[in-house]
Amino acid sequence: MVQSLLVRLDDPALIDLSVIPWAAPVISFGDLSKARVATLGLNPSNREFVDVSNRELMGSERRFQTLNSLGLSKWSQAKPEHIDQIVDACFGYFDGNPYDGWFRALEKLFLDAGVSYYGMFSDACHLDLVPFATSTKWGALTTRQKAQLLSLSGDALGLLLRDSSIEVLVLNGQAVIDNLQQVSNRSFKKEVVAEWILPRRSSDGVLGYAYTGKINQVGGVDLGREVSVLGYNHNIQSSFGVTSQVKMAIQKWISHHTNEVFC
């Protein structure tokens, strides 16, 4: 599968979609082969590949492989050993220089279920709907660009889930929920949760919604089983005004339902 994603990266049309052409596809953050739980996002941040000055991360700061790190001028030159290095960087992400500012907040969601991204016995990972990093943040991309990126990613997420032992997918934010419903051809159960309302001085607050469901196919790929889905509309890291009380309530809900699946 990595090989097919690399072929897509050599397509000049990707430049128009804001994809970073020299950045390897990110099939997972953490060891997918051992994970029982996966958080799901939209696509890898450009900060996984560049610093605040937009310079490629080098040396001990590097997180994933690039054309430069592999000594390649284009992805069509990639050999099996290069693909192995790409996969190793993904699976070993939390053993190197992980973007802790992002992932520590996500990990708290399921710590009470005894699951972690980190350490020798890690059993969680992070996946994205689109495995390609973009220089423009997802929210700033046009509707056309988003649709084309999802189409270009095709069956990647489905293949990853099919060949994994993932039991629970945790969906981080409304955009992830909406897009997964589309590519899985499922509508998830939606409920208002009073404890998740974000307070606002000028209104009654922003409602919090919990989503639950099961999926058995993604992007036309039959998973061979049902995977439980748990989602919340607030983006834990990015939504304005997500209080510690709301975060704690979401954490308890995720951990409770994850434990139910494990039982």
Dump pLDDT digits (tens) for 122-153: 999 999 999 999 999 999 999 999 999 998 88
pLDDT at 122: 95
Q: In whole angstroms, what is the distance from residue 134 CA to residue 63 CA?
A: 15
- CATH for the 2-262 domain, from 3.40.1010, 3.10.580, 3.30.379, 3.40.470: 3.40.470
Would you say residue 239 has pLDDT above 70? no
Residue 138: per-residue pLDDT: 94
The first and second tokens of residue 30, run together, are 């953490």
Chain segment 153-199, per-residue pLDDT in tens: 889 999 999 999 999 999 999 999 999 999 999 999 999 999 999 98
Confidence of residue 38 (pLDDT cuts 50, 70, 90): very high
- How far apart CA 117 and CA 130 sit, in angstroms, is 20
H or E element, residue 212: strand 209-218
Question: CA-CA distance, 102 to 9, in Å (whole number)?
Answer: 26
31, 193, 212, 230, 242 from 190: Cα distances, Å = 31, 10, 7, 10, 20
Domain boundaries, the chain: 2-262
pLDDT, mean over the chain: 94
- pLDDT for residue 204: 81
Q: Whole-prediction pTM value?
A: 0.95
What is the residue whose two structure tokens read 């990990």? 107
